[in-house]
């Protein structure tokens, strides 16, 4: 009996396990199993040799490939409000204080408050430092 289909099934099972436990560990084992199946298909080696190849490939994949997967998986991507508004300057439309007010940025008007409770008059520039719901917290420049 040829063992390469078994290695393919093991690889598919390991991919399914990785889908339910996103640790990026079982994906490495899946790649090792599939590569072992490919090697088994093209060579005439014994099952114990295939097991040794699987163990070695698993070790190499976990040691070298997993850090690359984790690096790309955890790369921070700033989008939404953080990427577009936080840290930007805006113009005060109506007086902004600790209770509320309005600012304009990118041709849009937003609710705004000052965290310190200071009053900022219309037409002054402010910097957006945070947000909560649909209200920006600003500080005077």
Q: What is the pLDDT of residues 70-79, one digit of tens each?
A: 776 555 566 6
Q: What is the pLDDT of residues 79-134, one digit of tens each?
A: 677 788 999 999 999 999 999 999 999 999 999 999 887 899 999 999 999 998 88
Number of folded domains that form the chain? 2
CATH code (residue 87):
2.40.50.140
Domain that holds residue 84: 80-140
Are residues 86 and 101 both part of a single domain? yes
Rounded distance, CA 6 to CA 10, Å? Answer: 6
Whose tokens are 């070695």? That residue is 56
Are residues 64 and 88 both part of a single domain? no
Q: What is the pLDDT of residues 22-74, one digit of tens each?
A: 788 899 999 999 999 999 999 989 999 999 999 999 999 999 888 887 776 55
Are residues 25 and 61 both part of a single domain? yes
Whose tokens are 């909560």? That residue is 132
pLDDT for the residue numbered 78: 63
């Amino acid at each position: 009996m040829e063992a390469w289909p078994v290695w393919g099934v093991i690889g598919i099972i390991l991919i399914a396990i990785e889908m339910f436990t996103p640790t990026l560990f079982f994906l490495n084992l899946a790649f090792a199993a599939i590569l072992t199946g490919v090697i088994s298909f093209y060579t005439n080696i014994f099952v114990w040799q295939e097991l040794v190849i699987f163990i070695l490939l698993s070790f190499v994949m976990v040691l070298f490939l997993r850090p690359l997967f984790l690096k790309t998986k955890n790369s921070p991507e700033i989008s939404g409000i953080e990427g577009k508004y936080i840290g930007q300057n805006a113009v005060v439309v109506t007086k902004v204080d600790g209770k509320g007010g309005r600012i304009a940025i990118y041709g849009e008007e937003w609710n705004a408050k000052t965290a310190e409770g200071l009053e900022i008059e219309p037409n002054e520039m402010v910097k957006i430092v945070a947000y909560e719901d649909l209200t920006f917290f600003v500080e005077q420049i």
